[in-house]
Structure 1
C-alpha cells in the first residue's frame, strides 16, 4: 500500500487494482489544466452580463462572498477527495460511503450535459474562424453595423435561416456545417486526451497562454472603440448597492456564477486531483 502512495519514475504510480495512474508532469501543468477547465464561456460571456444587470460593480459583493464562503471550500473539497483516493468523482464519493456514489454519478451527468452544448459553442467559433478568411465576412465591409453583424451570426453561423421563420420554424433541422465543425471539435478534444495526463499538461501551456493573449488584444481593441467609456461604466464603474436588497435574485445569480467560474460539481476537479501525487 505504501508503494501505491509514492510516485514512480516517469510520472505515474500504482493505483487501486494494480493499475498505474499517471500524474501531471509539474505543479504548473496541473494549475494551468485546472484553471483552463474553470475559465471558459461562463466567465467571458455570463459574468459581464450579470454585472451589467445587477448594479455593475455592486455585483462583486455577493460574488466575492459566494466565492470565499461556497466556491473555494467546494473546490478544495473536490481536489482533496480526488488526490486522497486517487480516483475520479464516482470512486472518491463512493469511498466515503457507498450511497454517495450517486453524487459522483450526478457530477458525471452534469459534465455530459455541459459538453453537449459547449461542443456546439466551439463549433460556432470554428465556423466563424474559417469564415473570417472569406470575402463575404461583414467585418471586411465598410459601414458594418450591429444589426448586420448580428444577422450574420444568427443566419450564417448559427444557421437560423435554414430552420425557417415563424410560424414554420423547424428547430430540430440539422445545420450541416455546424455538425461538421462540432465533429471537428470532438476530434480535437480526442487528440488532446488520447496520450494521457502528461500530454494534457503540455497542451495547457498553449491552450491557456494563447487565449490570455487574445483576450488582452480584444480588451485593448474594445477600449479604443467609440462608446467604450459607457461600457466600462456599465460593467464596473457603477455601484448601485440598492440592487442587493431590491433584487434578491442577485444573490442566487452570484452563487450560480461561482459554479461556472470555478468549474465545480462536474467531476473535473476531482479527476484532476486524482492525477496529483499525495505527497
Structure 2
C-alpha cells in the first residue's frame, strides 16, 4: 500500500482543488430545486435560514470531510479505518463501515448518469434549434421529456455522458478533474451571470426580483421551512462521507482547507442564487408560475418559457450548457470515490479502475432509466445523510481530539478555535441524524 500512496495523484494548485470542490457542490440541486424552494417558501423567507445553515455546515461538515480525507490520504474506507484504529486498535471495523458511503456515492453516480444523459440530449436539441422548434406546444414539450425519461428512452446520450466522464477521470486528478473543472466552473459562472443580466433587461422580470426579496415573518415560524432549508444546504454542499473526503485526500498538507471550505460554500451559494435570479424572473417574464421543482422545471416548464421570450433560442443554449457543466462536474466527483477505492484496495491503475466503474455504472444506468426518480430518492433520503453522519462520528467522536485538530490546522497559520470540535460533535452529528429521519418522514428534504 505504501507504494500506491507514493504514486498517488493530487491537485496541483489550491485554486484547482477549490474549483473541483465547487464543481462537486454545484449540481442539479442548485438549478432545479433551489429556485423552486425559494419560490415555494417566499423568497428571502427561505434564503435567511438557508444561508444560516450553509454557514454552519461549511464551518463543520465541509471542513471535517476535507480534513479527514487529507489526514488519512485516502477515501472513506481508509479514513474510517484510521479513526477506528485510533480508538480500538482495529481498523477493519472502520473500513467495513467506510464501504457504505462509497457504495452510496456509486449508487448516486449511477442515478445522476441518467440525468446527465438527459442534459446532454437537451443541450444538443438546444444547439440544433430543435427545442426552439417546439415553440410553446406543451404537449410536444412534455411528450419529448416523457419519452426521454422512459425505460431505455435515452440510451445513446447516456452512453455519451459516461464516455465523457470516463475520459476526464482517466486523465487523472490534475490532468483531468482539475483541468476540466478549471474550464467548466468559471464558464458556468460567466454564462449564468450573462443570462441573469439579459433576463434583467426583459419586461416583466421585475416581478420575479420583487418576489425573491420578499420576506414573510410568519413563514419563519414554520418548522418545515427550517427543515427544508437545512436539507437544501446539507445536500447542496455535498457532504455525504464520500466525494469531499476523497477530494480532500488529494490536497497538499501546505493548503489551508478552512479557507478552501469557506470558498466552496460561498461559490456554491452564488451559483444557487444565480440560478434563482435567472429562473424566477425568467418565469415572471413568461407569465408562468414556478410550480414545479425537479426535472419538470428544467425540461418542461423552462423550455416553454424560453420559447416564449425574446432571444429564447440563445438563452436556452446558454442555459443547458451551464446545466451540463454543473452536472458533469458533480458526476465526476461522485464516481471518484469508487474509482479511488479500486485503486487503493486492489492496486489497479487509474485507467483500469475508471474503465471498470464506468462500464458497471453505464450498464446499471441503462437499466434504471424508467425508475430513476425512485432510485435517486432512496439514495439521497437514506444513504447520503447516513454517510455524512458516519464521517462526522468518525472524525468528531471516534478519532483522537489531537488528530482532529491537527488534521484541520495543518497548513493553516491561524489555528481554528476551540468551538470547532463541540460544534461538530453536538450540532453537526445530531443534524445529520435529523436529515436522515426528516428525509424518511417527509419523502426527501434536499
Quickly name the TM-score band, shorter chain normalised.
0.7 to 0.9
1:108 — aligned with what? 102
C-alpha displacement at 1:271, in angstroms?
Answer: 0.5
Note closer, same or farther for the CA distance 1:252–1:216 as it changes in structure 2 (3 Å cut).
Answer: same
* CA distance in 1: counterparts of 2:251 and 2:156, whole angstroms: 36
Match status 1:232 vs 2:204: no
- Normalised by the length of structure 1, the TM-score is 0.80
Q: 1:133–1:198: structure 2 CA closer, same or farther, 3 Å change rule? A: closer
CA contact (8 A) 2:65 2:241 kept: no
Count of residue pairs brought into register by the alignment: 244
Q: Distance in 2 between matches of 1:56 and 1:122?
A: 28
2:220 aligned residue = 244
Which blocks of at least 5 consecutive residues in structure 2 are unaligned? 85-90, 255-446
Question: Post-superposition, which runs of at least 4 consecutive aligned residues in structure 1 deviate over 6 A?
Answer: none
Query: Counterpart in 2 of 1:263?
Result: 238
Q: Is the 8 A contact 1:81 1:273 kept in 2?
A: yes
CA distance in 1, matches of 2:247, 2:63: 12
- Unpaired runs of 5+ residues, structure 1, are 1-15, 164-170
**Structure 2 counterpart of 1:191, from 167, 173, 193:** 167
Higher relative contact order (CA 8 A, sep 6+): 1
- The residue aligned with 1:50 is 37
Aligned counterparts of 1:115 and 1:67: Cα–Cα separation in 2: 23
- CA 1:252–1:209 in 2, change beyond 3 Å: closer, same or farther? same
* Cross-structure match for 1:273: 248
Distance in structure 2 (CA, Å) of the matches to 1:198 and 1:121: 26
Q: How does 1:61-140 map to 2 (within 5 A)?
A: 61-97=48-84, 98=91, 99-101=93-95, 103-134=97-128, 137-140=130-133
What is the RMSD of the two structures over their aligned residues, measured on CA atoms?
2.1
Query: How far is the alpha carbon of 1:133 from its aligned partner?
Result: 4.4
Distance 2:31 2:47 in 1: 15
Question: For 1:278, what is the secondary structure of its paired residue?
Answer: coil
**Shift in Å at residue 251 of structure 1?**
1.1
Aligned equivalent of 1:174, options 139, 152, 156: 152
Find the aligned partners of 2:132 and 2:157 in 1 and give their Cα distance: 21
- The whole-number CA distance in structure 1 between the counterparts of 2:97 and 2:55 is 23
Contact 1:55 1:241 in 2 (8 A): no
Say whether the 8 Å CA contact 1:71–1:258 is kept in structure 2.
no
Q: What does residue 394 of structure 2 align with?
A: none
In the alignment, which residue of structure 2 is the partner of 1:27?
A: 14
Residue of structure 2 equivalent to 1:211: 188
Quickly say closer, same or farther: Cα 1:207–1:138, change in 2 above 3 A: closer
